[in-house]
Structure 1
Amino acid sequence: MADLLTFGLLSLSSLLIIVNPLAVALIYVSLTDTMEKADRLKVAYDANRVALFVMLTFAIAGGLILQLFGISLEAFRVAGGILLFGIGMEMVYAKTSRTKMTATEKYEGIDTDDVSIVPLAVPMISGPGTITTVIVLMNEATDFGIYAYALVFFLCPFVIGINYYMMKNADIITKYIGPREYRVIGRLMGILLIAIAVQFVITGLRTAFPILIGGL
């Protein structure tokens, strides 16, 4: 039970940090500031609905996709850890991760009528980092049984629910959290994400090379 609780806390923190609802809310405000309130709420709903669909799709089919391309779980854990490490470093240095949204995508999003799918749902909410995290967590769940799988499936809509709530209340949030506060929070979350990423890499290397890691 203790191991399952630890896995649950790791899964929750990983998904919250990589989705980063605060950053999404701030980007959402900048992309929808000229819209009517009803249209903005529809954008928030559609973006989170699509993002949840993407997350659950890869939670279910991620393992099959790896098998299809002949990618081992250990290789994906290491690769995923490196990707998350890079995202964490960008957060520490207060940069918007290029795996979430490029400058071009943000510029094109401002000029388009529908920003819910691109760039908000993909790649802002459910980008490569989120997809990688979901697949790794689902494969990590094999060590803990059916309850761990159910936990990851529950946490996906739970995190999306938090993200949707923050997007709906983005105007209020931006009154209290300015650029300086956001950078401080972002750096702290980046440090945590780096630690999680390193743990993913260690787990992958320990499984693939038990002698080198000393995991005999």
Structure 2
Amino acid sequence: MVSNIIHALFLTYAALFPIVNPLGGALIFLNVTNNCSQQMRHRLAWRVAVGGFLVLACSLFSGSYILGFFGISLPAVRIAGGLVIAAMGWKMLNSSDSPVEASPASVKSDEGALDLAFYPLTMPLTFGPGAIATAITIGSQQPDLLTDFDRAAVHDVAVIIGLLAICATVYLAYRYADELKRVLGKNGTSVLVRLSAFIVLCIGIQIIWFGIADLVQSLSH
């Protein structure tokens, strides 16, 4: 049972980490909140982490049911989410000066900054359609509570811990984003953001590919 918990926990964390990309997102977060006080950035980081956990948890446990209600298939969500992620990565990668400039408009001051905590800082800047589609995919693979309650309960606990871990990583990365930028320096920051933009683009293409493969497979059946 312990091995099952560890496996589900690391699977959840490993699947979400490259898509959420806390380190690359932290630099964009810092640019957006550049005019805010350090205390406000800490509050925003906390709200992003909490909001992200709620988004991922809802997507994981009820996303497949919501899609079924509207008659939307998971491959369609993957393709749509992949297109959004790929477009965002392409825009960041080809921005004239720095990929950070492709982020949402900077917050002017502490006043009204909390209004931006969910949109755009949580969605789609940190927990975008790719992370939501991934959470839905993980949720669709969980055991049935009615037929295998013990295994399903263990799996759900492990997945929740995995979600908490990825959100805690986001909180720490965003809270200490200024220290990260100071350590990397101007050139290191530019390289990391460019690399993050390329990874986001690749993740978007990969999600699209998985969606197309699933659609083709469903047609063959």
Q: Do both share a fold (TM > 0.5)?
A: yes
- Aligned CA RMSD, in angstroms, stands at 3.7
1:4 and 1:85 map into 2 onto residues whose CA distance is 33
| Pairwise CA distance, 1:26 | 1.1
What residue identity is the alignment partner of 1:37? Q
How many residues of Structure 1 are paired with residues of Structure 2 in the alignment? Answer: 202
What residue number does 1:180 align with?
Answer: 191
| Pairwise CA distance, 1:4 | 9.6
What residue number does 2:48 align with?
Answer: 47
Q: Does 1:30 align with 2:31?
A: yes
1:58 and 1:7 map into 2 onto residues whose CA distance is 17
Task: Evaluate the alpha carbon distance shift between residue 116 and residue 192 of structure 1 in structure 2; reply closer, same or farther with a 3 A threshold.
Answer: closer
What residue identity is the alignment partner of 1:83? G
Deviation by residue 1:14-66 (Cα, 9 ceiling, x = unmatched)? 31122121232112211222222222211111121112112112222212212
Deviation by residue 1:105-157 (Cα, 9 ceiling, x = unmatched)? 82274464323222211221223222222112211335996255444333222
Whether the 8 Å CA contact 1:78–1:205 is kept in 2: the answer is no
Q: Does 1:61 align with 2:62?
A: yes
TM, length-normalised to structure 2: 0.71
Report % sequence identity: 20
What residue identity is the alignment partner of 1:167? Y
Q: Does 1:205 align with 2:220?
A: no
Whether the 8 Å CA contact 1:80–1:200 is kept in 2: the answer is yes
Deviation by residue 1:47-100 (Cα, 9 ceiling, x = unmatched)? 2111211211222221221221123xxx3224414532652475367439xxxx
1:161 and 1:21 map into 2 onto residues whose CA distance is 10
Task: Evaluate the alpha carbon distance shift between residue 7 and residue 51 of structure 1 in structure 2; reply closer, same or farther with a 3 A threshold.
Answer: closer
Q: Does 1:159 align with 2:166?
A: yes
Whether the 8 Å CA contact 1:22–1:166 is kept in 2: the answer is yes
2:139 and 2:170 map into 1 onto residues whose CA distance is 21
Whether the 8 Å CA contact 2:57–2:163 is kept in 1: the answer is yes
Say which SS state the counterpart of residue 106 (structure 1) adopts: coil
Whether the 8 Å CA contact 2:181–2:189 is kept in 1: the answer is yes
1:4 and 1:198 map into 2 onto residues whose CA distance is 29
2:215 and 2:11 map into 1 onto residues whose CA distance is 16
Whether the 8 Å CA contact 1:88–1:193 is kept in 2: the answer is yes
What residue number does 1:120 align with?
Answer: 121
What residue number does 1:134 align with?
Answer: 135
2:178 corresponds to which of 171, 176, 180: 171
What residue identity is the alignment partner of 1:117? F
1:197 and 1:26 map into 2 onto residues whose CA distance is 26
Deviation by residue 1:152-203 (Cα, 9 ceiling, x = unmatched)? 3332221111111111110121121311232134424643553455235424
Say which SS state the counterpart of residue 168 (structure 2) adopts: helix
1:76 and 1:31 map into 2 onto residues whose CA distance is 32
Residue ranges of structure 2 left out of the alignment (5+ in a row): 95-99
1:3 and 1:204 map into 2 onto residues whose CA distance is 30
What residue identity is the alignment partner of 2:176? N
What residue number does 1:106 align with?
Answer: 104
